[in-house]
A = this chain, B = another copy of it.
Amino acid sequence: MFLKSISIYNFSGNASREINISLTFFFQHLQQQLQAQPGSLPFDEILYCNIGNPQSLGQKPITFFREVLALCDHPKLLDREEIKSLFSADAIARAKKILALIPGRATGAYSHSQGIKGLRDEIAAGIASRDGFPANADDIFLTNGASPGVHMMMQLLIRNNRDGIMCPIPQYSLYSASLALHGGALVPYYLDESSGWGLEISELKSQLEDARSKGINVRALVVINPGNPTGQVLDEQQQYELVKFCKDEGLVLLADEVYQENIYVTNKKINSFKKIARSMGYNEEDLQLVSFHSVSKGYYGECGKRGGYMEVTGFSAPVREQLYKIASVNLCSNITGQILSSLIMNPPKAGDGSYDLYMEEKDGILKSLARRAKAMESAFNSIDGITCNKTEGAMYLFPQIYLPHKAIEAARAVNKAPDAFYALRLLDTTGIVVTPGSGFGQVAGTWHVRCTILPQEEKIPSMIARFREFHEEFMAQYRD
């Protein structure tokens, strides 16, 4: 009786989320089949290129970070002499310092809903050191990864379905999902694929005017730098223009900067939007700016720890109080994630005992990611019917797939987006999981997939070979 009432249950999702979910159920099913009946599929393993989850593909955690976490989890160890042979001296010192920052050294207690004050001080110091401009612990909200921070800001900003947020297209679907969840309007601005996913202020202006003319109250603009799924890095001039645009138009700037450590080109560097704004002389009273960061990305890739923070500047005390209320609904973020957030913003420094190992691990990961980005981009561009912009940063390629009309018709016939049709066939044939471009938004009539650069280097040649073989057979089957 009650079980039949499925359709009346509520899910405020959106189409892009639906696509990813159906893919998820499919690969979970395949994974189970591979385990239950090895050899029953045309591939031996599923290669997860659909999600930025480095450690699931073999990336090792940074030793120093894990040493500190272990000591903070079990502080009794700090009383024992034997740890000196098991842990680096600076990890021991750091764990002691962190425990001293936590009231009662209680890593098992709820903290302040913004996070432990002492850890927020550490993070603020890390931000100040990164940017060369001051940061304030009261502006930091520690969160279980970046996603809850984004949801909190959407909850704060969206009052009804006439409130709009400008988002890049293509965009990481967290934003469209969160807007759907909170009932706001997504105001798109398109990144230009032909100029390496370039961002044009004229496009922002025209989309903003268009939305306003439709009665949408545009409240904020999301920028993702480096880009997800697009992998581009903004140059400084674009950042200046974007900041000025937000200031002039009175838009809150929501800066997704979770890939700030992931940059693979030498001709650009990452500047936080806060640094850009402050270097333009814009202060608290000029611009409302939120920067999201996470322990899940960078060279650390600690997705499972669910740590992150947002730095919220330019908001008045009463608005911050509202945000605090929203944060307090789930009491606080997890303390392990809080500690790890303080560590990524204050890693070992030259002269520290762990520094050499830390740098070796960090450089090893980042250089390998750069090689993988280059190898996969070249490979995609060498395949007929695929073009791929350079991945300058983040963890993704977003190649365009030129699908024949017959393939598009075949997809429509089974009620699927053509790129989802392609991605499902790819998975079914090769075990490679990529995410269809429809999940991120794209110019009408173009089709893409997002593919991470995370497979281990030794697996890339065979992966590319499988991809190429699949693609050629697919194109042969559906050639117009």
Q: Is the CB of A306 within 8 A of B333?
A: yes
Give the residue name and chain of the B residue nearest to A336 (CB): B336
Stretch from A55-63, A225-233, A345-353, A435-443 that touches the partner: A55-63
Stretch from A101-109, A188-196, A204-212 that touches the partner: A101-109
Q: Is the CB of B82 within 8 A of A77?
A: no
Give the residue name and chain of the B residue nearest to A303 (CB): B110
Most chain B Cβ neighbours within 10 Å, of A3, A82, A285: A3
Note all chain B residues with C-beta closer than 8 A to A3: 285, 288, 314-316, 319
Note all chain B residues with C-beta closer than 8 A to A316: 3-4, 6
Please judge, given known A-B contacts A63-B76, A82-B85, A288-B2, whether A331 and B147 are in contact too, CB under 8 Å: yes
Q: Is the CB of B304 within 8 A of A108?
A: yes
| Interface check A139, CB cutoff 8 A | no
Q: Is the CB of A147 within 8 A of B329?
A: yes
Give the residue name and chain of the B residue nearest to A6 (CB): B318
Q: How far is the CA of A322 from the CA of B3 in the complex (A)?
A: 13
Q: How far is the CA of A147 from the CA of B215 in the complex (A)?
A: 37
Please judge, given known A-B contacts A147-B331, A333-B306, A335-B304, whether A106 and B13 are in contact too, CB under 8 Å: no
Q: How far is the CA of A74 from the CA of B107 in the complex (A)?
A: 17
Stretch from A65-73, A398-406, A457-465 that touches the partner: A65-73
Q: How far is the CA of A111 from the CA of B21 in the complex (A)?
A: 15
Note all chain B residues with C-beta closer than 8 A to A148: 330
Interface size on A, residues (CB 8 A): 94
Note all chain B residues with C-beta closer than 8 A to A69: 73-74
Q: Is the CB of A80 within 8 A of B86?
A: yes
Give the residue name and chain of the B residue nearest to A148 (CB): B330
- The distance from the CB of A108 to the nearest CB of chain B, in whole angstroms, is 4
| Interface check A17, CB cutoff 8 A | yes
Q: Is the CB of B10 within 8 A of A108?
A: no
Q: Is the CB of B156 within 8 A of A9?
A: yes
- The distance from the CB of A136 to the nearest CB of chain B, in whole angstroms, is 15
- The distance from the CB of A186 to the nearest CB of chain B, in whole angstroms, is 16
| Interface check A164, CB cutoff 8 A | no
Q: Is the CB of B250 within 8 A of A58?
A: no
- The distance from the CB of A86 to the nearest CB of chain B, in whole angstroms, is 6
| Interface check A145, CB cutoff 8 A | yes
Q: Is the CB of B304 within 8 A of A13?
A: no
Q: How far is the CA of A319 from the CA of B11 in the complex (A)?
A: 10
| Interface check A43, CB cutoff 8 A | no
- The distance from the CB of A431 to the nearest CB of chain B, in whole angstroms, is 15
Q: Is the CB of B331 within 8 A of A145?
A: yes
Note all chain B residues with C-beta closer than 8 A to A336: 73, 305, 334, 336
Please judge, given known A-B contacts A73-B69, A86-B80, A334-B334, whether A109 and B159 are in contact too, CB under 8 Å: no
Q: Of B61, B158, B330, which contacts A145 at CB under 8 A?
A: B330
Q: Of B2, B86, B159, B304, which contacts A110 at CB under 8 A?
A: B304
Give the residue name and chain of the B residue nearest to A144 (CB): B144
Q: How far is the CA of A103 from the CA of B12 in the complex (A)?
A: 31
- The distance from the CB of A78 to the nearest CB of chain B, in whole angstroms, is 11
| Interface check A326, CB cutoff 8 A | yes
Q: Is the CB of B74 within 8 A of A67?
A: yes
Most chain B Cβ neighbours within 10 Å, of A55, A74, A177, A178: A74
Q: How far is the CA of A70 from the CA of B156 in the complex (A)?
A: 37
| Interface check A24, CB cutoff 8 A | yes
Q: Is the CB of A301 within 8 A of B108?
A: yes
Please judge, given known A-B contacts A73-B70, A85-B82, A147-B329, whether A157 and B55 are in contact too, CB under 8 Å: no
Note all chain B residues with C-beta closer than 8 A to A159: 8-10
Mask: chain A, 199-226; 1 = CB below 8 Å from B; 0 = not: 0000000000000000000000000000
Give me 20 A-to-B residue pairs in the complex whose CB atoms sit less than 8 angstroms apart, sorted by A's number: A2-B250, A2-B288, A2-B314, A3-B319, A4-B316, A17-B329, A21-B321, A21-B324, A28-B112, A55-B107, A55-B109, A56-B103, A56-B110, A69-B74, A108-B304, A144-B144, A144-B306, A147-B329, A148-B330, A181-B329
Query: Known contacts A66-B76, A305-B334; can you find 12 more A-B pairs with CB under 8 A?
Result: A8-B159, A9-B319, A9-B322, A10-B157, A11-B326, A21-B321, A51-B110, A53-B109, A56-B104, A70-B77, A82-B85, A106-B304
Shortest beta-carbon contacts, A-B, top 7: A70-B74, A56-B109, A304-B335, A306-B334, A55-B108, A55-B106, A55-B109
